Amino acid sequence: MLDAIIAGQCPPLTRRAFAAQFGAMPSDIARIRQFALRHGFRIGDVSVPRRMLRLSGPTSALAEAFGVHRVIRSKGAISWNSYTGYLSVPGELADCITCVLGFNERPLERGGGAHRLGDNAVTATTPIASYTPREVAGLYSFPPADGHGQSIGVIALGGGYLESDLRTFFRQSHLPKPRFTSVSVSGARNSPRGTSAAFDGEVTGDIETIGALVPRSRIAVYFAPNSDAGFLNAVATAVHDPRQEISVLSISWGEAEVHWEVQTMRALNDTMMEAAILGVTVCCASGDNGSFADTYDKKPRVCFPASSPYVLACGGTTLLAKRSRIRSESVWHNATGASGGGVSTVFPIPSWQRLSRVPPAPNGYRGRGLPDVAANADPRTGYRFFALGHWHVNAGTSASAPLWTGLTARINQLSGTPIGFLAPVLYGKYEPLVRAGAVRRITKGNNGTYRARHGWDCCTGVGVPHGSKLARAIGVAVRRR
């Protein structure tokens, strides 16, 4: 099914068709219900399209039912529920349960980008240039569109936004304010100035950037707990949401592959594949630590979910402009961070990337290379946004992902249909896109282990966009389906 959609042999599925063909089987749900009732567990949310069922009950009883022991772990001032042992599924359910999440509530070490307020290493940086999101869109020649009719999702694993900040930002930007909707997942809510206030800038910067690019769009922010189960539930809810029906999803959160549990990665990657089947473009920040996604061991690693072969991984550049023209652009790499990129040691190289000269991972594995694309992400040449009553200048790859999200929404509007899984198109038509000027290679700089070069590289992918030319190229591809 996915191969046929990628090849343009059939259109993406509707959410109703997906639920009918690939949703959870009623008989499997009934078996899990019977198991829950026998053990005295309560049954919460049941989703057929997401194939998820929520159980609750005494932690000790749940742990015993799935073969683990509950423990409390901590790091510094942070503590969380976790477990020891190996999760196992009762034999009677082994053929219908693919993973069990929720026992490990370890928070992600960080978001994928650098919009966090209160992060002194970032906010103390003195910008050498700053831009509004629309100025950056102009430098990349985005096609004229306002996002009318487009529905966009944004993942938030902490932080929040103030309506007063949004009103100020769009009023002072002389733009109409998009319709923002806050969606609660697993009990998490929009909570600015709360316990995770360090991420208020992450959330506010993301949605103001997207909103400035497509002010007539609808933007849904999916708030979820900062845990593996929360992340999966947020993405699955966004992808399958029948009310919002998003066509683009922006994710600025991630962590080095080495820190993810295998079952969580598998389940989240499956959800990214479902997004592709549904025609949803997922734009992920590739990370802000260059080729060293795990800052502890200083070994070349990449971030997940940017390393999923079903997303558009967005890296970063340092962009300098004068009089609405780009003076120079290179790989972002300085004291503020670097463009995340490298080679996955989990996901094999996808078919559409095999001609891109992806190097082997340090352990020899022939994995998926990232990023796929790039855009301005250097906090020293950052984006202006308004949060908690003040103007800020910041960036990170959590700015380049929203920028590509806004571009995708504009192309969707102009095409009249979602472009869906974008990466195979960019790689499959790479040389024609370069000749047409639809993408521009970045050939200067490095991200630690890898250097920029002609063609795809582990610093900025295939390059940065010329939005209007890319829209024309993608539009032709869409109309031929």
Asked if residues 116 and 381 have their Cβ atoms less than 8 Å apart, the reply is: no
What SS3 class is residue 292?
Answer: strand
Residue indicated by tokens 């000749």: 435
C-beta neighbour count of 448 within 10 angstroms: 20
Complete DSSP assignment for 426-475: HHHTHHHHHHTTSEE---S-B-SS-B--SS-BTTTBT-EE-HHHHHHHHH
Determine which helix (DSSP H) or strand (DSSP E) holds 317, and give its type and residue range: strand 312-322
Of 206, 257, 274, 329, catalytic:
206
Give the tokens for residue 20. Answer: 């009918």
SS3 22: helix
Q: Which of 344, 398, 400, 468 is catalytic?
A: 398
Q: At 265, list the tokens.
A: 């990665």
Measured CA to CA, the distance from residue 37 to residue 40 in angstroms comes to: 5
Alpha carbon distance 163, 386 (integer Å): 11
End-to-end, the C-alpha distance of the chain in Å comes to 15
Report the sign of the C-alpha dihedral through residues 463, 466, 469, 471, in that order: positive
Strands (E), 189-305: 218-223, 248-251, 255-256, 281-285, 303-304
Catalytic: 165? Answer: no
Q: Supply the DSSP symbol for 142.
A: P
261 noted as active-site residue: no
The amino acid present at 280, given as its one-letter code, is V
Residue of 119, 165, 202, 255 marked active site: 202
Q: Which two tokens stand for residue 364?
A: 């020899």
Q: Nearest 5°: CA angle at 273, between 419 and 80?
A: 125
Please tell me what DSSP assigns to residue 253: B
Active site residue 45: no
CA 402 to mean position of chain CA atoms: 9
Q: Decide: helix, strand or coil at residue 62.
A: helix
DSSP label at residue 90 = -
Q: What is the distance, to the nearest Å, from the Cα of residue 217 to the centroid of all Cα atoms in its chain?
A: 19
Cβ(439)–Cβ(426) under 8 Å? yes
3-class secondary structure per residue, 123-137: HCCCCCCCECHHHHH
Residues belonging to the active site? 202, 206, 398
